[in-house]
């Protein structure tokens, strides 16, 4: 199964000798391709190495040119790129599903953020936008905006990252908690919210939903990442659950804190939330003053 996130034992800023070293460390599996991923699963890693003339590396955000249409012996574009090409389609899926992408920089002269030699793991980035434009060489290219996810170790580079004023006060960062189990659960429910039944369509055959942990992961809650603690929800009901706007009773009815009815959780026979997790969530929010 494809892994999204930082592999165990790998550190931000870690250097690698070559693509084989990246492959064996499970940081970037392809030995040649710059994008690792599939249309269905999403992209788990990319290598930024100055291979495309339209790339822009600004440190904490990167304008990344997708693959295809390039002369293999230069950076010159000789044909249009397509959003159905495997790597480009994988990055679009990552944007739709909100999956983190590992970014590795290769040594090249075009970026002050690239390592002096070899390859360097730059951390996790989100795909926040994509578009098609006419590139410098007169052919259509697919580009992606990759933004570094906060709350990671600082990456020491030769220059400080260039801020983007247009995004400085408007971008809202969401903590990535889309685990492999939550992705399996969302597939189980065909991305339909278990409270309202809403499915959110994206481009192509892509649908969006969120895996919501009833008892939150991490300290101080220490919820577990298991089917007994995860619901498939739309963004509205996920947020409502996380901020205490809805409470789930043991019989799976859903209410506000004041016990006004919202609806009920639909579920399959092979998926039940542990009552202890429901109780933890209720205790956490019902003891909180309005």
Count how many domains the chain has: 2
Are 64 and 139 in a shared domain? yes
Q: What is the CATH number of the domain that holds 93?
A: 2.30.280.10
Are 212 and 246 in a shared domain? yes
Angle (CA) 34 54 10, round 5°: 35
Global pTM exceeds 0.75: no
Alpha helices in the chain (DSSP H): 19-24, 86-97, 165-168, 180-188, 235-242, 275-286
Q: Is 133 contained in some domain?
A: yes
- Give the pLDDT mean for 112-135: 92
Terminal alpha carbon distance of the chain? 43
Cα gap 160→270, rounded to integer Å: 51
Cα gap 172→23, rounded to integer Å: 33
Q: Is 8 contained in some domain?
A: no
Q: Is 6 contained in some domain?
A: no
Are 202 and 233 in a shared domain? yes
pLDDT at 96: 84
Are 42 and 91 in a shared domain? yes
Are 156 and 191 in a shared domain? no
pLDDT surpassing 90 at residue 192: yes
> Which structural domain, as residue segments, surrounds residue 212?
180-286
Are 148 and 185 in a shared domain? no
Structure tokens at 72: 């293999």
pLDDT at 85: 95
């Amino acid at each position: 199964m494809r892994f999204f996130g930082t592999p165990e034992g790998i550190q931000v800023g870690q250097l690698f000798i070559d693509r084989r070293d990246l492959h064996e460390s499970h940081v970037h599996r392809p030995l040649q391709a710059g994008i690792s991923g599939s249309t269905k699963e999403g992209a788990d890693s990319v290598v930024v190495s100055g291979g495309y003339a339209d790339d822009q590396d600004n440190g904490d955000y990167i304008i990344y040119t997708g693959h295809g249409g390039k002369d293999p012996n230069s950076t010159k574009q000789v044909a249009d790129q397509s959003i159905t090409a495997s790597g480009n389609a994988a990055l679009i899926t990552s944007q739709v599903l909100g999956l983190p992408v590992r970014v590795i920089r290769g040594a090249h002269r075009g970026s002050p953020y690239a390592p002096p030699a070899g390859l360097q793991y730059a951390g996790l980035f989100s795909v926040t936008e994509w578009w098609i434009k006419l590139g410098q060489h007169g052919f259509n290219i697919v580009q992606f905006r990759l933004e570094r996810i906060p709350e990671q170790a600082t990456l020491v580079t030769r220059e400080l990252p260039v801020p983007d004023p247009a995004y400085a006060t408007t971008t809202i960062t969401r903590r990535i908690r889309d685990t492999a189990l939550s992705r399996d659960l969302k597939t189980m429910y065909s991305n339909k919210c278990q409270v309202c039944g809403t499915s959110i369509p994206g481009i192509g055959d892509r649908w969006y939903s969120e895996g919501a942990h009833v008892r939150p992961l991490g300290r101080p809650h220490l919820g577990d990442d298991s089917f007994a603690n995860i619901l498939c929800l739309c963004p509205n009901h996920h947020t409502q659950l996380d901020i205490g706007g809805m409470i789930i009773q043991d019989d799976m009815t859903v209410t506000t804190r004041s016990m006004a009815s919202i609806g009920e959780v639909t579920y399959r026979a092979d998926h039940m939330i542990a009552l202890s997790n429901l109780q933890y969530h209720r205790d956490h929010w019902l003891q909180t003053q309005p």
